[in-house]
Structure 1
């Protein structure tokens, strides 16, 4: 009889755990669905911006001879636009936007190479995009900037934003809608982390470390969140263990 009671209680505990797991997965799915729409819209806006830049480049290069290298870079930029457009249209999860912004970053660098070749200049150093708005293209320098409530950092910026920051003016920051407010994209929440990762993640640890500290309230906030999750899991397992222990404390054994 006592064995049967133990098995019944264990079955109930397993059923509760499985139900909690399914509810957690459902909540995670709903969260990702709600985050996907604004991230997808952001990616599509960036793809459109690249298309406009390619039209401008086409007008700029009209009548100017392109050598083999310039033609190859031009085609690379065009291919990047088409690939990014397809990838943005097919986004299924917020994290998929990383692939889109990686393609866009490569397309803008290819455009810079076209201009350099046609002008007889050395190919540009491959720097990160402008931190304040990646649509501004390649950064030209790092500039000291202090985010509101944060510490001063060196961030990559385009020529115009370098001038603005050094003059004490507000840089031209890419903003996104969060509820009824427009905030810098790095304050948009964790759904926008992959967006930034595609643009900045390939330029060494320092660039991505800075981005990581801006998103989600910094590494301290990320660590606290992970710690809270761990504590919650520990409490749940501890509770299960205590309950099972209490059952066996009152169990004298089996009669064979």
Structure 2
């Protein structure tokens, strides 16, 4: 049974958005698809796999524009983590996780796989699936996974992880995600009406997510998937 909150963990060079509860299946391979038209500046440096649709790219572009217009420091956080590639498909721990990050190829590209298309990323509250709530959920998930890539590149995460380093890694990514949502709550958006809806969504998600975080189910996931804790 899935818990109310989608959670994340790590496995070796993998950071994952965990939905504690079900089965593990295979990973997704990347096949980059070139654009037929020039990419907007925000998307330059981001590679998209075959599974990413035009609607996904537009959703990402709109999400980045929202950050650039209202939370520029978080827009910079995303942009400064390039290069990375995005895919939609099964993660290595499919049905347990909603997204995962893998670092990195010989050119420094990080890879993030989402279990579903970007506009279908849901909040932990099934009754609160507004446009604003879902965009905050997607953006915070992206920031969580980008935090893993940044930590790998900075040497803060080992090539082979045990349960203890998994817990440390996930704690850092959750902290950054919560920091983002607190920033949304405090921000005065250029569009006051939609901005209020974004703030309300972030505030509600923050309460729900921190409550679930404190249950430590995400730590249990790290322990269950990293049996070499004493190695």
Could you say which TM-score interval applies, normalised by the shorter chain? 0.3 to 0.5
What TM-score, normalized by structure 1, do the two folds share? 0.30
Higher helix share: 1
Higher strand share: 2
What TM-score, normalized by structure 2, do the two folds share? 0.32
Bigger relative contact order, structure 1 or 2, given CA contacts below 8 A and separation 6+?
2
